[in-house]
Structure 1
């Protein structure tokens, strides 16, 4: 009995990401499942070669730098049935015409959440030891503090408040579970029973801020969350508190945060800011109580292969008649990253 030919696929992303997402072993698995030309990586759907490939494509494999999949693109792709995104958010990628056509969409956001949660876990534990502040002091004084000066340092019972039970937030809660920390959660879509299952005490946002030594932000960037940590709410965090943001800079009133940091009342671990990159004269670069990184918490380097591997796993499910493991539904986009 003859086998059906593999479905035709097209890759659409910035080509600079291709080898990271699909290193040779992952690309080999991909090419066993679909008929794809890894030499054709589309950044402009109006390009004649892209248009011709779209006409044959049943699967579109997308990533960072993929153009918007609008009505004209869909019209040029009559056989398209599935889009597999080898990155996180898909909100910029598709619109109403996509959903009206009834196409399937999958994202590697779950895989991308893993390194973000790991980075945040490390930041929480280092902040609890005051590692960032003590490093600055050690560099300046070239001497160890006296033993009595460590009274406020340590992670036993440290109060950690998470804002948002997103994919990252949930994975972080799993990583925090074995530790001797006191963890609370604010998420308007999580009830008390689910919060308990996740290993956290549910609290209203203002109460979480008042009662947390370390606050970590994991909410999506949507209209309801813009500047959710404004001047008044930042003022609720206790003196000496630490704000960690690996989500989006827009969730925090950055001017108000800079004021708190300049006063020395709070410290911060910031992997995201607004704008990105920051202007060269931003005080965030030089404040001693700020640990600033250039948006590195998400998948980088060899971690990118996990995202490509997720796409391959989704293709394996498709080609064997099983449902997608990480589908994206239109209804969920309003409250997701």
Structure 2
């Protein structure tokens, strides 16, 4: 495009300066005719309604309403959506996919902090850090000697469930370390797993043979509670489960029962339900490490998402293909 297309921010307004600090916002405004004072969370709002018929590009984020028939009717010239978040499933109902919109997502950029969080947790779990913390607090007047048994990361087997954007980044981050990595993903064959530097495995074999399992599969009807009581029972004594994907992939009640035995450890950045009720037993189990959905982009990491959108806007401006275009055909089996 030689001219600046008319664009609109559609997201929660407080996120805008975090996603687009002044330098990024200035670049974006050189590429798009967009007003940072006009940020929409309701396409029926009378304030921006007069601008909607001219909008060709939406810059979306958390807080943007779904692009349903009502929204699309108000946006007759809309052709491109540049999304600052990860998943766009909730944003794109079937009617918007049928419209033929070009959609870009910052999912790859949002995958990095999730993968970094996961790597940190894998290393700490393998080192026995969380159990050591509990013991050290209980016997704080005595320094422990060298840990015995299975503590340590040399040659530890890690199971990755899902070769998603996050799963692949985790695999990449694990390469410099002395781990053996198994992968379960029904859409990746043995050759594809080898190209990632991992070994393909069935789900049950992965759970039974890994000391740390990290979940990175999408939330679909097929994956709902895929980690159920029977599969948790396959995990060896002393092993650990990490979930940064979606809480629905793990049967919470079954997990609570297993954790209550002390047999397993779980690191949960997502839960089902989310947030957990205040009386959830998970809050009181010392082998349940809970964080409040912080693995994804936070604080200064939001800038990375905004920068990805600015880069896509530049490609749009020059007529180059978008680098992070969403493939609608794969959307139902991705995060």
Equivalent in the alignment of 2:176:
178
Alpha-carbon displacement from aligned partner over 1:35-61 (angstroms, at most 9, x marks no partner): 111011001100122222211111001
Equivalent in the alignment of 2:119:
121
Contact 1:44 1:50 in 2 (8 A): no
Within 5 Å, give how 1:228-239 maps onto structure 2. 228-239=226-237
**Partner of 1:223: helix, strand, or coil?**
coil
Equivalent in the alignment of 1:78:
76
**Partner of 1:235: helix, strand, or coil?**
helix
**Partner of 1:162: helix, strand, or coil?**
strand
Q: Does 2:14 match 1:16? A: yes
Contact 2:218 2:245 in 1 (8 A): yes
Contact 2:2 2:317 in 1 (8 A): no
Contact 2:2 2:318 in 1 (8 A): no
**Partner of 1:294: helix, strand, or coil?**
coil
Give, in whole Å, the separation in 2 of the partners of 1:100 and 1:283.
45
Alpha-carbon displacement from aligned partner over 1:214-247 (angstroms, at most 9, x marks no partner): 0000000011000000000000000000000110
Equivalent in the alignment of 2:103:
105
Equivalent in the alignment of 1:36:
34
4+ residue runs of structure 1 moved beyond 6 angstroms? none
Equivalent in the alignment of 1:329:
327
| 1:291 to partner: Cα distance | 1.2
Q: Which runs of 5+ in 2 are unaligned?
A: none
| 1:4 to partner: Cα distance | 4.7
Equivalent in the alignment of 2:145:
146
Within 5 Å, give how 1:1-337 maps onto structure 2. 4-142=2-140, 143-147=142-146, 149-337=147-335
| 1:151 to partner: Cα distance | 2.6
Give, in whole Å, the separation in 1 of the partners of 2:16 and 2:251.
35
Contact 2:126 2:152 in 1 (8 A): yes
Alpha-carbon displacement from aligned partner over 1:106-142 (angstroms, at most 9, x marks no partner): 1111100000000000000000001011011111111
Between the two proteins, the alignment pairs up a number of residues equal to 334
Give, in whole Å, the separation in 2 of the partners of 1:77 and 1:135.
55
Question: Which has the larger displacement, 203-212 or 273-282?
Answer: 273-282
Q: Which runs of 5+ in 1 are unaligned?
A: none
The CA RMSD over aligned residues, in Å, is: 1.1
Contact 1:107 1:326 in 2 (8 A): yes
Give, in whole Å, the separation in 2 of the partners of 1:208 and 1:94.
34
Question: Which has the larger displacement, 70-79 or 224-233?
Answer: 70-79
